[in-house]
Amino acid sequence: MNPFHISFDPSKPEFWIAVGLLIFLGIVVFVAKAPHMVAGQLDAKRDAIQNDLDEAARIRAEAERLLAELKAERAEAEKQVRDMLAAAEEQARAYEADAKARLEESLARRQQLAERKIANAEAQAEAEVRAAAVDFAARMAEQVLADRLSGAKSDPLVDRAIPLIAEKLA
């Protein structure tokens, strides 16, 4: 016997079970409006999913906008860093030029000071040499005069040379 075989014999209980099932389904469909409720629930679920998709799209658009802003801020920051580096390099070059000028000026002052010290030392040495020469010439003249006075009368050439020596040494 086939379990799926339906017979329309009202004397069999299966017939009445089938009739009861059809009545129940009719009540559910027409009275309780089950398809409408199922469709409403499906529509609500669809609307919720659509809202979730819209929210995800809105969040994605916001994230893309934020990403674009961050990229723009990063580019601006990199530009500022490049500008700051260029300014720092230029300032370093200016400091270097200033330091070089100050060093050259200091070296020139030191050279002038050294030249003055050398000139002063030369003048002092020259004065000392002159003083030594004057002293030596005076001693020599004194000795020559003493030798001449002790041995003979004065020599007219020596007498004329003594005032000249005094004038030359002064």
Residues with Cβ within 8 Å of residue 150, at least 6 apart in sequence: none
Structural domain contains residue 126 = yes
Q: Which two tokens stand for residue 132?
A: 């030594």
What does the pLDDT average to over 18-31? 82
Cα first-last separation, the chain: 166
The single-letter code of the amino acid at 20 is G
Q: In the predicted model, is pLDDT for residue 128 greater than 60?
A: yes
Contact criterion met (CB below 8 Å) for 139 and 165? no
Looking at the structure of the chain, the number of domains it has is: 1
**Distance from chain centroid for Cα 75:** 16
* Residue 5 placed within a domain: no
Please state whether the predicted TM-score (pTM) of the whole model is above 0.75.
no
Phi-psi category of 155—alpha, beta or left, where left has phi over 0 and alpha has psi -120 to 50? beta
40-84 pLDDT, tens per residue?
Answer: 889 999 999 999 999 999 999 999 999 999 999 999 999 999 999
pLDDT of residue 111: 92
More confident residue, 6 or 41: 41
Asked whether residue 85 is domain-assigned, the answer is yes
* Residue 165 pLDDT: 74
**Quick one: which of 123, 161, 112 has its CA closest to 141?**
161
